[in-house]
Amino acid sequence: MAKCSDRSHFVAYYRVSTDRQGRSGLGLDAQREAVHNFLGQRPHTLVAELVEVESGRNADRPQLAEAFALCRVHHATLIIAKLDRLARSVAFVSNILDSGVDFVAADFPEANRLTIHILSAVAEHEARMISERTKAALSAARARGVVLGGNRGNLPAVAAKGALASAKVRSQRAAERARDLAPVITHLRDAGQSFAAIATELEQRGIPAARGGTWTGQKVSRFLQRVAIQCGAPAKTG
C-alpha cells in the first residue's frame, strides 16, 4: 500500500457490469451516493470520478488504469463505493498492489488494509509452499549426487547487480510518473500557457512536483524536454 497519498484528495471509481446499467444509472447512482456520503463527512477534494462498464471478470479496465494515473499524479486515494464491486476480482487486487495507490471502500473503510493483508497472507502461504517444494526437490537432487550451488565468493559483483536493479526500479517509477503527468502538462501547453503559468496551475491543482517539491517554470520546461526526448519529438519552448 502506498504511504504517501494525501487522504484529503480522492479519485472515485465506479463500475457497472452492462452498457444498459451504464446508460440508465442503475447501480451507478447508488455507488456515487455512497461515495459522496462518505466524503461529505470529512474535508476532501474529489479530483475526478471515472465510470467503467465492464464485467467483474474482465482484467482489462482502462478507466481503472486512468484512475490509478490520476491518484499517482495528485498523490490521491482511490475511493470505491462497495468493496464487493472490486475485491472479488483477482486482477483488481493485483493492480492495486502493483499500482502504488492507496484505496478505501466507502462501505467498509477499514477493509483497505485488512483485505490487502489477507490476500498478501494467502500469497505468502503459496510462496512458502513453493519454497518447501523447491527445497524438497533440491534435497532429492543432492541425494542423487547432483552438484548444487553457485559462486558465493564474488560479493562485489553481486552488490553491483543489486545497485543496478535498484536504479532500474527508480527509473521505471520516474518513467511511469512522466507518462501519467505528460498529458496534463501537454494539454496546458497546447492551450498556450507559459511554463510559469503551467507551474502555477499545477500547484493550484495540488499536483506535487518530483520529490514533493514546488513547481516552477524551469521544472515544467525540463519536464517537457525529457518527455520530448523520450518520444523523439521536439519540445515546445518559450
Write out the E strands in 27-99. Answer: 45-53, 77-80
Q: What is the DSSP string of 140-159?
A: HHHHTT-------S-HHHHH
Q: Is 55 a catalytic residue?
A: no
Rounded-to-integer distance, Cα 51 and Cα 63, Å: 7
Cβ-Cβ contacts under 8 Å for 97 (sequence gap 6 or more)? 116, 119, 120
* Active-site choice (17, 94, 99, 120): 17
Which residue(s) pair with 16 in the sheet?
53
78 and 13 in contact (C-beta within 8 Å)? yes
List the grid coordinates of 92. 483488481
Phi-psi region of 220 (alpha: psi -120 to 50; beta: other; left: phi over 0): alpha
Q: Which of 138, 141, 139, 75 is nearest to 102 (CA)?
A: 75
Active centre residues (catalytic): 17
